[in-house]
Amino acid sequence: MQTNEDDSNVVSGINVTPLVDITLVLLIIFMVTATFVSEQGLQVRLPKVITQENAPAPAITVAVDKEGRLRLMKKDVTLPELATQMALEVKLDPGVKILVKADKDLSYYKVAEVLDTLKLAGVNKAALAMDRK
């Protein structure tokens, strides 16, 4: 039996370092792009303004489309359901922050009605979402 000296230098394992590097890069890309995905299903065209404040950091989103349909986070709700859910949220966290995304074509009355519902439920911090011009 003849042995080959080149066989002793053969690496029998798989180098997984490049695989781990590629996986981590893909994970970072996924995490960054996932933040740009809209969390709501309603089509809401926000009004455009010149000045804009930043939204409160961890905020609960309430979206209202131009027909007046309400969506709390990712769930369709009615105005009484919104009041009930907000009362529960205020019990859990009295400083809860709400971000209202109202369509620019929505009547002022409907926006006032939603804000009034939030206020009656005990919410003290509500902001209106807007796009920059």
User: Could you give the number of structural domains in the chain?
Assistant: 2
pLDDT confidence of residue 51: 61
Residue 52 shares a structural domain with residue 76: yes
Residue 26 shares a structural domain with residue 52: no
Q: What angle do CA 56, 62, 66 make, to 5 degrees?
A: 125
> Which residues in the chain show pLDDT less than 70?
1-8, 11, 35-58, 132-133
Residue 22 shares a structural domain with residue 57: no
Residue 87, domain CATH:
3.30.420.270
42 located within any domain: no
Residue 59 shares a structural domain with residue 113: yes
Q: Which of 50, 72, 76 minimizes the C-alpha distance to 123? A: 72
pLDDT confidence of residue 133: 65
Residue 21 shares a structural domain with residue 57: no
Q: How far apart are CA 105 and CA 46, in angstroms?
A: 9
pLDDT confidence of residue 46: 62
Task: Express each pLDDT in 107-130 by its tens digit.
Answer: 888 888 888 988 988 888 888 877
43 located within any domain: no
72 located within any domain: yes
Residue 61 shares a structural domain with residue 95: yes
Q: Which domain holds residue 28?
A: 5-34
Q: How far apart are CA 133 and CA 107, in angstroms?
A: 21
